[in-house]
Structure 1
Amino acid sequence: MSLRITLDFSEKDLERFRDMARKAMDTTRDQEPKQIIAGARKLIEEASGRGKSSEFVRGRLDMLRMLIDMLEDEGWGMQEVGRQRVLAALAYFNDPHDLIPDNIPGLGFLDDAIMIELMTRELKPEIEAYQDFVKYRDAEAQRRGMKPEELNRSDFLKSREQALLSRMRRRRRRVRGGGGGGKSPISLF
């Protein structure tokens, strides 16, 4: 038997989570990125090691792993602005003052999972770009018979640029071939 519980957070509730995140960022401001990442890894270990985490919590821990991967993936080469946003989000997991203490069975990691959910919504553009990159890198590495680590962000961006230029050329041919034949009256080419 499963039980579905839906939580609706008001703007006031969400502001409380934002406030907790801001406080965590302030307390960890002087920490090195490695320390911040280590704190997030520790949460993953603790929540995973108990083996009794809910599916909701486990799913959010996977997202937390992906945020760490984004930071550490040299091929992705995350830009400094995005890097700072992810590190600021991970700072929450270095603050020992949780809303719900982690040692409470069944509930201890719920606030952490909710915070991860809020973070991933906030970081959605960065996450989607990284996921696109990982898919490209895996497929391209397999196509070329190389290791994925041999491909990087610049390869990905060149590929995206080539796809965009191809699409523009196809559209241009379609427009030229579809109506009236010949050049446009305002065409310079």
Structure 2
Amino acid sequence: MYAIPDTRLPLPQVLDQYPSGTPHRRNHVNDFLLVPWEVERFNQVLTRLGRTRPSLQTDQLATAARSLNDLADDDSPSPCIQQRMQHARLLEQMLADPDWEPAAEATSEISQVMDYLREGRQLIPDTVAGVGQLDQAIVIDTAWPKLVVEVTNFLDYQRLRRLEAERQGRRYEEIPFNRRYWLELREVEARLHEHQRRVREGSYAPEPLSYFRVH
């Protein structure tokens, strides 16, 4: 199962640099021409997701793509793009799980990110070798500070549901399990871990708690 790594692989730094001086004239990502009004529309998406830096310019995007291409050995997406697309797959899993209800504070960002990833009018076509998902990675990266807690919770929900299914000898999808059950089970697990810590640090050995369960 995919887990969120402790280290986020950075996107090219030029994407966060304030444009200064005379703008460059790069406007191609590989052989694909960036259209100004599509770039402006893309910036509007980023603003709605919380980007506070100045709007991205075509030169920044072209330079970022070139830097990623220079680091690549083939036409595969760079590791930083692959990492963010793994995050996108987690968002898809979250929305596809009928028993998981995302927290209200994350719902809007999840919807906006997935709307962009699923639409046909993305800034850079996926067919552009190596960097065709750069725009998607930027969208995910922009929204990530508002999504990371919810995604982490969903991964923990999957973990505890899998443990409970194994305890019952049933399949993952067969057991009744939702966000409320997950919160209850997480609390029981936390109390169990605290009890075990006290036993390890104390000078007595009381009877261990029975394994937690959801009825």
- Please state which band the TM-score falls in when normalised by the shorter chain: 0.5 to 0.7
1:142 CA displacement: 1.1
- Aligned partners of 2:157 and 2:179 also within 8 Å: yes
Residues 1:54 and 2:77 are matched in the alignment:
yes
**1:131-152 Cα shifts (integer Å, max 9, x gaps):** 1111111122112212222222
1:66 CA displacement: 1.0
Q: 1: CA distance between counterparts of 2:197 and 2:48?
A: 51
- Aligned partners of 1:71 and 1:83 also within 8 Å: no
Q: Could you tell me which of 157, 170, 187 is aligned with 1:161?
A: 187
- Aligned partners of 1:86 and 1:123 also within 8 Å: yes
**1:23-73 Cα shifts (integer Å, max 9, x gaps):** 79xxxxxxxxxxxxxxxxxxxxxxxxxxx5425333332221110111121
Q: 1: CA distance between counterparts of 2:154 and 2:196?
A: 27
- Aligned partners of 1:75 and 1:153 also within 8 Å: yes
Match of 1:138, SS state, is helix
1:11 CA displacement: 5.9
Residues 1:152 and 2:178 are matched in the alignment:
yes
Q: 2: CA distance between counterparts of 1:143 and 1:172?
A: 25
Q: Could you tell me which of 110, 125, 146 is aligned with 1:86?
A: 110
Q: How many residues align?
A: 145
Match of 1:133, SS state, is helix
> What runs of 5+ residues in structure 1 fail to find an aligned partner?
25-51, 178-189
Q: 2: CA distance between counterparts of 1:6 and 1:96?
A: 22
Letter in 1 for 2:178: N
Residues 1:110 and 2:134 are matched in the alignment:
yes
Q: 2: CA distance between counterparts of 1:173 and 1:53?
A: 51
Q: 2: CA distance between counterparts of 1:147 and 1:84?
A: 32
- The match for 2:96 is 72
- The match for 2:160 is 136
Q: 2: CA distance between counterparts of 1:85 and 1:114?
A: 14
Match of 2:140, SS state, is helix
- Aligned partners of 1:82 and 1:126 also within 8 Å: yes
Match of 1:75, SS state, is coil
Match of 1:135, SS state, is helix
- The match for 1:19 is 44
1:7 CA displacement: 1.2
Q: 1: CA distance between counterparts of 2:132 and 2:198?
A: 58
- Aligned partners of 1:21 and 1:89 also within 8 Å: no
Q: CA RMSD in A?
A: 3.7
Q: 2: CA distance between counterparts of 1:128 and 1:55?
A: 24
- The match for 2:59 is none
Distance 1:143 1:65, change over 3 A: same
1:157 CA displacement: 1.3
**1:69-120 Cα shifts (integer Å, max 9, x gaps):** 111212222234432321022222226151x343432222222223223333
Query: What percent of counterpart residues are identical?
Result: 26
Point out the structure with the larger helix share.
1
Distance 1:12 1:140, change over 3 A: farther
